[in-house]
Chain A
């Protein structure tokens, strides 16, 4: 690698500066303002000079950094690169785990220090991101592992949310009973949908699942007596902390803050919801990591690779796909139940096709089958668009641009490397 050629760099930066000057003099240096007798040209060459200087110096610094980076990492082999990527991925995984685990505490501390006053807002974003992480992980089972392109995942999210809301409202059962039931209902719907359509492949499957997603939404919209139609369902019971409600006071016994001797604060419930979705998401992740090492998980991956080969090994493709569909749907249902209890109100509007598209985008952009990729993609797509809420309608533009950028530079997703599930030496646990 050649040493950095400073004079050459300086020359190029100077050139960039001249181009900037040519542009800034007419565009920034001369400005028309309406004076008392018509238009007046306001000459502001200082601004133009400053911008030019900024461009030249910035160009110089950036190209130096770029060259330094190139020198530090000479061409690495493919195995070295994948090993490095793997360690980076593991590092990112633990870092985001630690970040997510301590987020409420950090936010509280920094707020007390007076650095910001929006703990509740940031926690809400955190909950939203984690919900999508969980949905992404759930869909990753179907799309990433089993290779079934599902464009109607939101249907299971909706089924979970509505089953939770209806069961909780009609029977008055606790959250901890309704949550698994909602998951089971969603899985049941997964089987009902899966049975007739899973003989289809690729594009055809995608279209049918897309249709199913819409059917569920339209049914929810029109079955007024049962689902409340466009009015939705409101006053969905809030979750409690193992029997202790998050209220200022309760006629039926102690509340959360009384039991723990704390002052009442509405943030308790938010923090509880945050950790609830955090744990639900972690369960999804642990489940996926585990099942990949079991025969059924390996069968999903094999099915994605080659269906004919699978059949010739005695695998029943329909059953294998059905389990993937049902389990993916179940996690979607859990997330839906969480969504319902967090919002307290649901309507068909929350379950439009764009939701399916966003979840699918998270899975694809993250790198199909990559768990950490999903986290990064969810943080960027959901957290990012939420952060840019100030930009109003340009938000979606940024969303689209981020997607295009990832597809250009990382066409197989952010983290496309697949981890083998069996190792040659050690790792006895992987053997069933």
Chain B
């Protein structure tokens, strides 16, 4: 039984269909990546898993429970956590307060341990603990968004374009951290990325989404080796 199974999901924005029957599954302990061009429906799929917007047809099952029709805030309390697209940290609140918000629904007794874990993963956040979120750099904000998502001790972590608009050096740091989260903390990860090279190298498996349907799937390294992937997503060489 997979940890997360998405089957036959169709999602609409009003009259416009964004997903045309998508099937993916994520096994426990995996890093799975979802790559594709702009507008292919990657973020839509991620948001559909979170219930906003909800799938019109098809089903989403997480740990044997059908979550297709649940409201977002209930889905997010079931052991799924998300670092949203564009980071969406709370700019006027301090780093520490942002992390507190992430722990809003977890056991208060765990707070100090979880905080320490996030600080070990991103020492930069500890240095900036009392600074306002809005004054952080883009990369630091991304670290904060991931850290905030980890504060609820998720079993499945959804990451939406963590490399978007971030300095290349920090991108590498963040991908290393994602690996650590998966290996050391045993968190399953579903990663949506435009940066196909980094994502496929990191992931166990990958899906290629084109115009709202899955066009290709396979192990990360296999996908990376395919000529059509190289041509479509890795044009101009790897960074």
Contact = CB atoms under 8 A, between A and B. Distances in A.
A50 B108 CA distance: 73
Contacts of B81: 312-313
B77 interface: yes
Interface stretch (B56-64, B89-97, B161-169, B205-213): B89-97
A312 B80 CA distance: 9
B152 interface: yes
B234 to A, nearest CB: 30
Interface in B92-116: 92-94, 96-97, 100-102, 104-105, 108, 111
Nearest to A432: B108
A314 B104 contact: yes
Given A310-B101, A422-B94, 6 more contacts: A309-B90, A311-B72, A313-B76, A316-B73, A431-B108, A432-B108
A298 B101 contact: yes
B106 to A, nearest CB: 9
Given A309-B90, A312-B76, A314-B76, A424 B129 contact: yes
11 contacts: A305-B93, A306-B88, A309-B88, A310-B101, A311-B72, A312-B50, A312-B82, A316-B73, A420-B97, A423-B96, A432-B108
B50 A314 contact: no
Interface string A296-333: 00110110011011111111110000000000000000
Top 5 nearest A-B pairs (CB, nearest first) are: A314-B76, A309-B88, A305-B90, A314-B77, A316-B73
Given A298-B101, A302-B90, A308-B88, A420 B73 contact: no
A418 interface: yes
A422 B111 CA distance: 13
Contacts of B100: 295, 298, 422
Interface centre among B50, B93, B94 (most CB of A within 10 A): B93
Contacts of B76: 311-314
A237 B73 CA distance: 47
Given A302-B93, A418-B92, A431-B111, A313 B129 contact: no
A421 interface: yes
Interface of A: 295, 298-299, 301-302, 305-306, 308-317, 418, 420-424, 431-432
A301 B98 CA distance: 11
B119 to A, nearest CB: 11
A420 B133 CA distance: 11
Nearest to B89: A309
B93 A301 contact: yes
B84 interface: yes
Contact of A302 (B77, B101, B111): B101
B117 interface: no
B66 interface: no
Nearest to A315: B73
A299 B73 CA distance: 13
Interface of B: 50, 52, 71-74, 76-77, 81-82, 84, 88-94, 96-97, 100-102, 104-105, 108, 111, 129-130, 148-149, 152
A313 B101 contact: yes
A282 B148 CA distance: 35
A312 B88 contact: yes
A432 B82 CA distance: 24
Nearest to B77: A314
A422 B92 CA distance: 13
A165 B82 CA distance: 51
A420 B108 contact: no
B90 A308 contact: no
B79 to A, nearest CB: 10
Contact of A313 (B92, B96, B102, B130): B102
Given A422-B97, A424-B129, A311 B104 contact: no
Given A418-B92, A422-B97, A311 B52 contact: yes
B92 A305 contact: yes
B199 to A, nearest CB: 21
A15 to B, nearest CB: 46
Contact of A298 (B84, B88, B97, B149): B97
A295 B104 contact: yes
Nearest to B160: A312
A401 to B, nearest CB: 30
A309 B97 CA distance: 14
Contacts of B108: 431-432
Contact of B130 (A310, A314, A420): A420
Contact of A309 (B84, B94, B152): B84
Contacts of B82: 312
Contact of A422 (B88, B89, B96): B96
A164 B129 CA distance: 47
A278 B149 CA distance: 43
Contacts of A315: 73, 104
Given A421-B97, A423-B130, A312 B90 contact: no
A420 B104 contact: no
Contacts of B129: 424
Contacts of B71: 316
Contacts of A312: 50, 72, 76, 81-82, 84, 88
Contacts of A295: 100, 104
Contact of B104 (A299, A317, A421): A299
A7 B93 CA distance: 51
A241 to B, nearest CB: 43
A305 B93 CA distance: 9
A313 B97 contact: no
B2 to A, nearest CB: 22
Nearest to A369: B92
Contacts of A298: 93, 97, 100-101, 104
B178 to A, nearest CB: 18
A311 B149 CA distance: 12
Contacts of B52: 308, 311
